[in-house]
């Protein structure tokens, strides 16, 4: 993990002091609501339906056990005993009091955490693959680049008042998109050319009202120029992005309006001026950053499939099932990455209690070099677990309710906070997730269905990433009543792809029966080894349409 230097700590201290003073001036009436709004948003603070919500930044999803315990402490002392993992790998608290936020930020700063730029019209937390440094297919570790981008983006003076929020993601796995860079404002794909690291840079992807896949703007940007190129894109966006209509203000609309050619021309012109200038990255800096993400001290004598593991797999069916869904191969022999699903039925997807934060911290210390990760599917990961310890870890997780063997299955639902918390929502999303989990409660059946991404958003802002679910559910409002629109065929697995609308939206009570009918059709039509998405791509949307609306005719 990146280790804070004195100046990083100094910066956080100054930030806390700044926000403490801003909060004081707001409460004293010296700052209006409107003036305070972007200041608090750039510190992750929303005023929600019932209370403020504080979004804490988890840079590219990495947490150490000390930080986890601090999150638990915050949940316990300043919230109602729980936090929430968001689809951008951050941690949100739904019930802090406004007056307490400066103290919470001070507490976070003690463990090198903050809420900087987790909201507002600025460059947000940089994200990447939750299996960075683990996946053998990755061409290099993306996290040093994420940290380089994070520092450039942090309090960048020119880009604090952009037309709209701005999200950057980095991917290092070829021909796959685990970091969803295709649907980010800027996607950075690490590529190697003649042994040199460089980047293919996409711009203009995004979800929301008009989902779009990003276009390649820079085909190969050599590594020293990464920041200059990003700055060029941001400058073009800051100057020309739409500021009159918030639904047209994301960079995707600008790229579309100008056309890729023109956008690239403007970017290249800005870039030409900065190229080889002071922003150019140095080899020392990149090496220094890489040093922070070096391998943990693995046991080099550990081997794959040790007898402790194979024996347990043979003798314990529940462990065996969990192993096949929630455990993932590791590039280090003898190790594995374990997903803790925060998706037990009855729990809002991504929610985690104060005691559970502490428990995950203990497990991270015991089994995974003191580190854990948050994922964009609202789960957590222990990234470096020795295979001969998987069984005892599983027992511990099972006791905590984190061993639901549904990772990537239908009930591993991604859902935004929706109408229960979010003031922008058209409809609730958590109760829909729960109704689906309750209906599909037969583990054997779920395993038979195989991998299936189901995503729910409470409104067009698409925080639940419904466009990229194999099945997407979107809450809509029709004359004050909650309805749900279903999309099929979205992908955020190997590739990123926007789903297609099934047809007219459904009443709340119809959602579960319709999902069940779609699943039935898949089961009838599938060929051996076909996942839901494969069958869908083979037979198309029509049969699903017919089946979904069958009983309504």
Partner 1 sequence: MPAIIKDGAIIEDGWVRLTAEQIEQDGLPADGDLIVPLSVWKSQREAIAARSGRTTVCLAPGDEPAEIADDLAGLPLVAVYFPAFRDGRGYSYARELRTRYHYEGEIRAVGDVLRDQLFYMQRVGFNAFQIRADRDIHDALQGLKVFSVTYQGDVKDPRPIYRRR
Residues 8-37 that bind partner 1 (CB under 8 A): 8, 10-11, 14-15, 18, 22, 31, 35
Residues 390-449 that bind ligand SF4 (CB under 6 A): 416-418, 422, 424-425
Alpha-carbon gap, residue 358 to 81, rounded angstroms: 12
Alpha-carbon gap, residue 319 to 398, rounded angstroms: 9
**Residue from 340, 409, 449, 462 in contact with ligand SF4 (CB under 6 A):** 462
State the nearest-atom distance from the C-beta of 400 to partner 1, in Å: 39
In sequence order, which residues have a C-beta less than 8 Å from that of residue 190 and are 6 or more positions away?
139, 140, 142, 145, 170, 171, 172, 197, 198, 199
Does position 44 bind ligand SF4 by CB under 6 A?
no
* C-beta of residue 127 within 8 angstroms of C-beta of residue 97: no
In sequence order, which residues have a C-beta less than 8 Å from that of residue 515 and are 6 or more positions away?
436, 439, 454, 471, 486
Within 10 A of 12 (CB to CB), how many other CB atoms are there? 20
Does position 461 bind ligand SF4 by CB under 6 A?
yes
Nearer to partner 1, 38 or 333 (CB): 38
Residues 91-130 that bind ligand SF4 (CB under 6 A): none
State the nearest-atom distance from the C-beta of 461 to ligand SF4, in Å: 4
Number of residues that bind partner 1 (CB under 8 A): 39
CA count, 13 A, side-chain hemisphere, 522: 27
Residues 277-306 that bind partner 1 (CB under 8 A): 277-279, 281-282, 284-285, 288
Nearer to ligand SF4, 405 or 418 (CB): 418
State the nearest-atom distance from the C-beta of 429 to ligand SF4, in Å: 6
Question: Which residue's Cβ lies closest to ligand SF4?
Answer: 458
Output 480-486 pairs: Cβ under 8 A, ≥24 positions apart. Answer: 482/419, 482/426, 482/427, 482/428, 482/508, 483/427, 483/507, 483/508, 484/427, 484/432, 484/508, 484/511, 486/511, 486/514, 486/515, 486/518, 486/548
Nearer to partner 1, 151 or 437 (CB): 151
Q: In Å, how far are 133, 134, 142, 266 from 293, measured between CA atoms?
A: 8, 12, 10, 35
- Classify 243 as helix, strand or coil: coil
**Residue from 45, 233, 459, 515 in contact with ligand SF4 (CB under 6 A):** 459
Nearer to ligand SF4, 178 or 208 (CB): 208
State the nearest-atom distance from the C-beta of 117 to ligand SF4, in Å: 18
List the single partner that 29 binds among ligand SF4, partner 1, none, CB under 5 to 8 Å by kind: none
Residues 114-133 that bind partner 1 (CB under 8 A): 121
Helical segments of 275-386, H only: 283-292, 307-315, 317-326, 354-367
Binding site for partner 1 (CB under 8 A): 7-8, 10-11, 14-15, 18, 22, 31, 35, 38-39, 121, 151-152, 154-163, 227, 235, 238-239, 243, 273, 277-279, 281-282, 284-285, 288
Binding site for ligand SF4 (CB under 6 A): 416-418, 422, 424-425, 457-459, 461-464
């Amino acid at each position: 993990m990146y280790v804070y230097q004195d100046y990083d700590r100094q910066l956080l201290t100054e930030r806390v002091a700044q926000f403490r003073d801003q909060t004081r001036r707001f409460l004293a009436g010296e700052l209006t609501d409107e003036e305070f709004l972007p200041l608090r948003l750039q510190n992750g603070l929303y005023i929600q339906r019932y209370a403020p919500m504080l979004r804490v930044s988890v840079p590219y999803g990495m947490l150490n056990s000390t930080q986890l315990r601090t999150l638990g402490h915050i949940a316990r002392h300043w919230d109602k005993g729980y936090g929430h993992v968001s689809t951008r790998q951050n941690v949100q608290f739904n019930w802090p009091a406004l007056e307490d936020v400066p103290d919470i930020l001070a507490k976070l700063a003690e463990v090198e955490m903050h809420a900087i730029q987790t909201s507002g019209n600025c460059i947000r937390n940089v994200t990447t693959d939750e299996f960075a440094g683990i996946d053998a297919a990755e061409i290099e570790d993306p996290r040093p680049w994420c940290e380089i981008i994070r520092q450039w983006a942090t309090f960048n003076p020119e880009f604090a008042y952009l037309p709209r929020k701005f999200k950057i993601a980095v991917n290092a796995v070829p021909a796959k998109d685990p970091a969803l860079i295709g649907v980010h404002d800027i996607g950075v794909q690490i590529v190697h050319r003649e042994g040199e690291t460089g980047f293919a840079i996409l711009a203009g992807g995004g979800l929301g009202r008009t989902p779009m896949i990003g276009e390649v703007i820079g085909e190969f940007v050599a590594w020293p120029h990464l920041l200059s190129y990003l700055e060029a894109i941001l400058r073009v966006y800051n100057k020309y992005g739409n500021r009159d209509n918030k639904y047209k203000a994301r960079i995707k609309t600008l790229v579309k309006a100008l056309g890729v050619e023109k956008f690239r021309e403007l970017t290249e012109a800005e870039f030409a001026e900065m190229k080889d200038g002071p922003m150019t990255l140095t080899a020392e800096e990149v090496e220094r950053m890489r040093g922070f993400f070096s391998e943990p001290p693995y046991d080099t004598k550990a081997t794959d499939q040790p007898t402790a593991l194979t024996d347990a797999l043979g003798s314990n069916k529940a462990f065996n099932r969990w192993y096949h869904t929630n455990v993932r191969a590791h590039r280090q022999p003898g190790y594995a990455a374990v997903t803790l699903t925060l998706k037990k039925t009855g729990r809002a997807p991504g929610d985690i209690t104060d005691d559970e934060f502490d428990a995950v911290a203990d497990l991270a210390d015991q089994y995974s070099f003191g580190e854990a990760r948050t994922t964009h599917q609202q789960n957590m990961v222990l990234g470096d677990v020795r295979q001969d310890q998987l069984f005892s870890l599983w027992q511990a997780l099972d006791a905590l309710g984190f061993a639901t063997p549904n990772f990537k299955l239908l009930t591993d639902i991604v859902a935004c906070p929706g109408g229960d918390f979010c003031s922008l929502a058209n409809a609730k999303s958590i109760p829909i997730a729960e109704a689906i989990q309750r209906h599909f409660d037969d583990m054997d059946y779920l395993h038979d269905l195989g991998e299936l991404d189901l995503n729910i958003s409470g409104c067009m802002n698409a925080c639940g990433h419904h466009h990229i679910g194999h099945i997407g559910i979107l809450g809509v409002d029709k004359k004050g009543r909650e309805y749900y629109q279903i999309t099929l065929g979205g992908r955020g697995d190997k590739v990123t792809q926007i789903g297609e609308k099934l047809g007219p939206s459904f009443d709340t009570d119809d959602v579960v029966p319709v999902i069940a009918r779609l699943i039935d059709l898949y089961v009838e039509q599938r060929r051996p080894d076909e996942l839901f998405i494969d069958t869908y791509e083979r037979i198309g949307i029509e049969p699903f349409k017919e089946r979904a609306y069958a009983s309504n005719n």
